[in-house]
A and B are shown apart, each in its own frame.
Chain A
Amino acid sequence: MKNFQIIKALSSSSAITGKAKDDSSMFIAGGTNLVDLMKKNIVAPDKLVDINGLDLKKIEFLKGKVTIGALAKNSQVAEDASIKEKHPLLALALAAGASQQIRHMATVGGNMLQKTRCSYYYNTDMPCNKRVPKSGCGAIGGSNRMAAVFGTSDSCIAVHPSDMCVALAALDATVLVDGPKGKREIKFTDFHKLPGNTPEKDNTLDSRELITAVEIPDNNFSKNVHYLKVRDRTSYAFALVSVAVALDIKNNTINDVRLAMGGVAHKPWRLTETEKFLKGKTISEDLFKQAGHLSMKGAKGFGDNNFKLMLGENAVAEALTIAASK
């Protein structure tokens, strides 16, 4: 790892100006993704702005919403009693990600900005448009078992690896950011972007902006929820496919529903068509099968990852069944 300067910021404004002064500087929170990438020389900032001194760790329940500070640790949110009670889907998704040691370090803001786990991105001997724009894509025509099946482009077929973000997309969260041009809010489903021809850019955040918090509006999804994560071993691995489902059931009828998938696209993949299809219908095994089928409409495999099409259908049906039976 190349040596660098490090400065500790004590306020959001000093963090933003500290970073804005120097284009090759980066924020560091838990460091679980950044230090890893720096060790491999995939990113090599000249300066790090340590933001751990900022007052952004609180989880606050306000009227109509909860605000989760960007520096709240993944384990802190996953184990918060009120989060477990009011937004159990988020707690489940967080607990399914990484290991407890990593969750103790990883922050909410950092989790949203973690880089893809596409193996070509990590291998500096291979072409990768995300790592080096216009160098080509190793995964297209190469080994692509983890790759996306929705929203891909000719430049990149990588998936976003986060579990937490799949739940946040389903729960209609909003990202609060602050930057040289002031504060703004970004709808969670607009936060991450599809690769298009600029796969090096993962999201719609300006590189000088700081994530300060994530907000989730109140909802009726406190019981019939599930986060299903399918992976190569039972624990401590990234998702091949994951499904976040939240149901509001009245008299066996689906009053309201939210569905999102992970491991299938460059961003958490919200299934709005399937949500529309399910709303108002009576729960049945057949309904959930149809929902699974509908969810994977338009998906396209790249060889090694063709199995995700069928796996996705089954995972959606299974996640709905488990959530409904809780």
Chain B
Amino acid sequence: MASKKTNQNKVMPEDSNSRRDFIKKSGLFTALALTPPSLVMATEKKWDEKIAEYLETVPLSIEVNGTKHNLNIEPRTTLLDLLREQLQLTGTKKGCDHGQCGACTVHVNGTRILSCLSLATMQQNAQVTTIEGLSKGKKLHPMQEAFIKHDGFQCGYCTPGQIMSGIACIKEGHANSREEISEYMSGNICRCGAYHNIVDAITEVKEGGKEI
């Protein structure tokens, strides 16, 4: 998947940061001709792939948990990899990486989606909330408290995704019965089988009527 190069994290000047702009302005061949000797060296040492990748990045502005980021990323970077590898927000988990487990569930513009099947470049100017963005200072979100109270997790791996889905489930109006909760939580797979307690936790938050 996406490379972990740190230079993708750098904020680049607006006018030179897209590959297309770069090529339009200089042409790839001129770009190589103008390459400083240190990079030519790098090319000879087979670092050329890295340079090519560097040219293949696109700019992205995104707000994550209230913080704005101006980044340069490869088009193939998924939102999940952007969060975990580039922004170091490892609360969102990578389970299957193919849309089948729900571990990577986050909220984008208030809607729950799977970050592993979402290309980060397609989230231009989006507002993303991850598990790290739920608590207010030291005060946990009511759903986090309810998961602890009801023992809604065992190994805890699926828990961030479950909590993000649980909150969405109530906001969407799909938490009116245990059956409905189970159905609308079915995209979040828990290999430890903590399901019963998860439904208890969501039911309590729904019935508690607190703002979530």
Contacts and interface: CB of A to CB of B under 8 A. Distances in A.
Interface of A: 1-6, 8, 28, 30-32, 35-36, 38-40, 48, 50, 52, 98-102, 104-105, 235-236
A48 B74 CA distance: 13
Contacts of A35: 78, 117-119
Contacts of B75: 3-6, 48
A32 B114 contact: yes
B89 interface: no
B44 to A, nearest CB: 23
B99 A2 contact: no
A225 B60 CA distance: 46
A6 B186 contact: no
B105 A50 contact: no
10 contacts: A3-B56, A3-B75, A5-B20, A8-B124, A28-B122, A36-B117, A40-B98, A100-B168, A101-B105, A101-B165
A4 B76 contact: yes
B53 A100 contact: no
Given A38-B76, A105-B114, 13 more contacts: A2-B76, A3-B56, A3-B75, A31-B118, A31-B119, A35-B117, A39-B98, A100-B112, A100-B169, A101-B165, A104-B111, A105-B117, A236-B186
Q: Interface range on chain B: under 10, 10 to 19, 20 to 34, or 35 or more?
A: 35 or more
A56 to B, nearest CB: 16
A99 B182 CA distance: 11
Nearest to B116: A35
A105 B99 CA distance: 11
A99 B105 CA distance: 11
B141 interface: no
Contacts of A8: 124
Contacts of B121: 6, 50
A36 B187 CA distance: 16
B180 to A, nearest CB: 11
A169 B77 CA distance: 37
A38 B19 CA distance: 21
A105 B183 contact: no
Nearest to B104: A101
Given A99-B102, A104-B111, A6 B58 contact: yes
Contacts of B76: 1-4, 38
A271 to B, nearest CB: 28
B51 to A, nearest CB: 13
B57 to A, nearest CB: 9
A50 B184 CA distance: 29
B97 A104 contact: no
B33 to A, nearest CB: 23
A157 B19 CA distance: 43
- A-B pairs with lowest CB-CB distance, top 8: A99-B187, A235-B186, A236-B186, A6-B75, A1-B76, A35-B117, A101-B114, A101-B187
B172 interface: yes
A45 to B, nearest CB: 11
Contacts of A101: 102, 105, 112-114, 165, 187
B110 to A, nearest CB: 10
A100 B122 CA distance: 20
Contacts of A39: 1, 97-98
A235 to B, nearest CB: 4
A98 B188 CA distance: 11
Interface string B51-92: 001001010000000000000001110100000000000000
B53 A3 contact: yes
A165 B190 CA distance: 30
A325 to B, nearest CB: 20
B77 to A, nearest CB: 9
Contacts of A6: 58, 75, 119, 121-122
B174 interface: yes
Nearest to A30: B117
Nearest to A35: B117
Most-contacted residue by chain A among B114, B165, B168 (CB, 10 A): B114
A1 B186 contact: no
Contacts of B78: 35
Contacts of B97: 39
Contact of B187 (A3, A28, A40, A100): A100
Nearest to A6: B75
Given A5-B20, A36-B98, A31 B172 contact: no
A233 to B, nearest CB: 9
A246 to B, nearest CB: 23
